[in-house]
Structure 1
Amino acid sequence: MSILCVLALLCLMTLTHSAPLTCEEMLRPLDQVDLPRLEGRRALVAASLSHPPFMERLRQRETASVDFSSNSSESSISFRRSTRFDNVCHYGSYNISLQGSSFIFDNITTTFTHTSCDDCVLLSFDVESGKRQHFYLFSRRRQLETQEIQEFTAQVKCLNMPPPVVMDPTKELCPEESSSDAAAQTEEKAEGQTD
């Protein structure tokens, strides 16, 4: 009789461990950002937006990437991003300060969200104080395993967003921006503001 009780208990434990995660569990922010692990460049693999009119523009994006590098302190890091539209690369570079699992740039609150993908960074962008949400999955690999994309799709569904756009891994990423490119882009912005 006691053997049957033990077997029944083991079966119940197995069932509870295989139960699907709740949306709250799937969308939890990282407890802490591991800066050494975060550093480096990752390509956008999949994304979704809460604002359907912008989904078409997302589909037109050829490639995108983010690059994190540490600065002098443990909470201050550099965040660079690149996007290719119509074979033209656009860059942005920011010095950011981590506040737990989040940072702010251009009045956009960005949160590192949990993912089971080991080399991925999952970022949730809160745009215009919650009016729009962007959900981007970046990876060191250009193409992920099916279960990794399925997890991201389930997370997107939890947010009631349109099905994700999966990027074409054969399209070329923008080259890394050189410091002279960044300086020229800053000068162009300054000249455009004085016109």
Structure 2
Amino acid sequence: MMEFVHVAVAVLGLLSLGHSAPVTSCENLIQPLEIYRSQLLGKWVLQGESTSIPGSKILVQMVMENTWVKITAASEADTFNNLQIQKTMGKCFTRKTNMTLVNNTLTVELPFQNSAVLLNTGCPDCLVIFANNTVGRTTVKDLQLLSRRTKVSAAELEEFTKQAECLNLQPPAIMDLEKGLCPDPSLTPETNFTDVTTHTISSDELSLLEELLSSEDGVKTLFDMIQRSMASVKQD
């Protein structure tokens, strides 16, 4: 059950990247961009996230405080190392994944198949990532806004909200960055991190997650499950 809870939260925060003048029409907002290897590298702070799962916004706002990711170049051409650091109910989680860039598409194979493109944005230091996450026969669409800054403007969040609407996704959850990000694990080895890199999720588990997120009572049930699991981790 603990692995399912970890992955349930990761699905909502995973991933888990050209810029232009401000864009307002759906045609411009959902236009894919050419991806350059150099533009991906560095530290990115998740500002907001929208998915195709009903109820995901409520759960993210109750559970996931904030997330940032560090992208570095791997030894192979057009391959990257992703380190995701997520704060969930005051506890820090890490996940490492490998990402490849082929034909202007970013692909991650584990913990589930993820195929993503970058979308147009008027934010000068942002990445807007639109991904399809596939587990078995289930596909979850995910839209993320990341920035070099720890906080973007209200206008930039409004543009991102419009992008989610254009893609028929749920209203985005906005990250709580006032509570502070988890530190870089490589710089603070004394910090207690929980690594969820090897945790996976089955199609049946994702179906259960979707079922729980489809109603207010289901979201509360999942929230209670996460609270109990987090409490057990603290006791251990």
- TM category, shorter: 0.7 to 0.9
Q: After superposition, where does 1:40-189 map in structure 2 within 5 Å?
A: 40-59=42-61, 60-105=63-108, 106=110, 107-128=113-134, 131-178=139-186, 185=195, 189=198
Cα separation, 1, equivalents of 2:24 and 2:150: 26
Unaligned runs of 5+ in 2: 1-22, 200-236
Q: Which runs of 5+ in 1 are unaligned?
A: 1-19, 191-195
8 Å contact 1:35–1:74 — kept in the other structure? no
Whose relative contact order is higher, 1 or 2, with alpha carbons under 8 Å and at least 6 apart?
2
DSSP 3-state at the match of 2:31: coil
Deviations along 1:133-180, one digit per CA (max 9) or x if unpaired, are 111101111221222112111101101122211222212112122397
Segment drifting more, 39-48 vs 128-137: 128-137
CA distance in 2, matches of 1:146, 1:53: 23
Q: Deviations over 1:69-114 (max 9, x none)?
A: 1123441111221211111111111222101332222211122222
What is the root-mean-square deviation in Å for CA atoms of aligned residues? 2.7
Structure 2: distance between partners of 1:102 and 1:126: 11
Which whole-Å CA distance do the structure 1 matches of 2:153 and 2:198 have between them?
A: 40
Question: What secondary structure sits across from 1:62 in the alignment?
Answer: strand
Cα distance in 1, alignment partners of residues 185 and 120 from structure 2: 29
Counterpart residue identity of residue 119, structure 1 = D
CA contact (8 A) 1:47 1:166 kept: yes
Secondary structure of the 1:98 match is strand
**3-state SS of paired residue (2:151):** coil
Q: Secondary structure at the match of 2:57?
A: helix
Sort the Cα spacing of 1:148 and 1:185 in 2 relative to 1 into closer, same or farther, 3 A.
closer
Distance verdict in 2 for CA 1:189–1:166, change over 3 Å: closer
Preserved contact between residue 44 and residue 167 of structure 1 (Cα < 8 Å): yes
| Other structure's SS at 1:52 match | coil
Give the Cα separation in 2 of the matches to 1:67 and 1:110: 17
Q: Which amino acid aligns with 1:118?
A: P
Identity percentage of aligned residues: 25
Is contact 1:103-1:111 (8 Å) kept? yes
1:160 alignment partner AA: N
8 Å contact 1:66–1:138 — kept in the other structure? no
* Distance (Å, rounded) in 1 between the aligned partners of 2:118 and 2:184: 23
**Post-superposition CA distance 1:44-81 (Å, at most 9, x none):** 11111110133222112111112111123441111221
